Structure 1
Amino acid sequence: MRIAGRRPMTALRDAARWSDERLPPGVRSVVGLLLMVGGVLGFLPVLGFWMLPLGLALVALDIPVLRRRLLNWLERAGADREEAG
């Protein structure tokens, strides 16, 4: 399954890296919360359920314990995909 021509884990990892480098922590949390609200309303035509995991990832980047786990998980998932493909 691909999202916009990319695998979901790759898109999530790239979005997490981009937001980690370019968005300040407070803004990242607000954007993450807005994405989660949009993900809950994913049955509507404009919004989508893809917004929920992305929002969770952005909020997790601002919580030190979750940040470490998220970044490690994304790196492991990326390494596993590179080995398999």
Structure 2
Amino acid sequence: MAIHQNDNEAERQRRIHLLLDRLPTKVRNAVQWLLTPERRWIRIPTAIVFLIGGMLWFLPILGIWMLPVGIILLAEDVPLFRRLSASLLAWIERRHPAWLGLDKPAQ
């Protein structure tokens, strides 16, 4: 069971890094800074703000894109969100591989 969880976590981390590599340098650096373990007290409120912003997707500037960012940030501290982010990232890799900088799989 622990080996399976380690494999899942390794895949989740791989997908997060692929996604981060697609971001502009300043945004990537900010997210990487937030993802470091000692930034927990900044990461959690930031994640909540992103989740709320994602729920207000219909307003200008805010958007649904904020939900996955909030989930990924919160996943570092909340196991339920860790599983959710792993599922979300796996879905993105299957359905929209270009979002991760991957070529579309042959069908």
One of 25, 34, 42 as aligned partner of 2:57 = 42
**Residues 12, 54 of structure 1: 8 Å contact kept:** no
Note the alpha carbon deviations across 1:41-68, whole angstroms, 9 max, x for none: 0111111110011101111111257548
Aligned-residue CA RMSD (Å): 3.9
CA shift in 2, pair 1:53/1:70, >3 Å: closer
| Residue in 2 that maps onto 1:33 | 48
| Residue in 1 that maps onto 2:35 | 20
CA shift in 2, pair 1:13/1:21, >3 Å: farther
TM-score, length of structure 1 as denominator length: 0.57
**Residues 71, 85 of structure 2: 8 Å contact kept:** no
TM-score, length of structure 2 as denominator length: 0.47
Give unmatched runs, 5+ long, in structure 2: 1-14, 21-27
| Residue in 2 that maps onto 1:59 | 74
Give unmatched runs, 5+ long, in structure 1: 1-8
SS at match of 1:24: helix
SS at match of 2:63: coil
Q: Which amino acid aligns with 2:67?
A: L
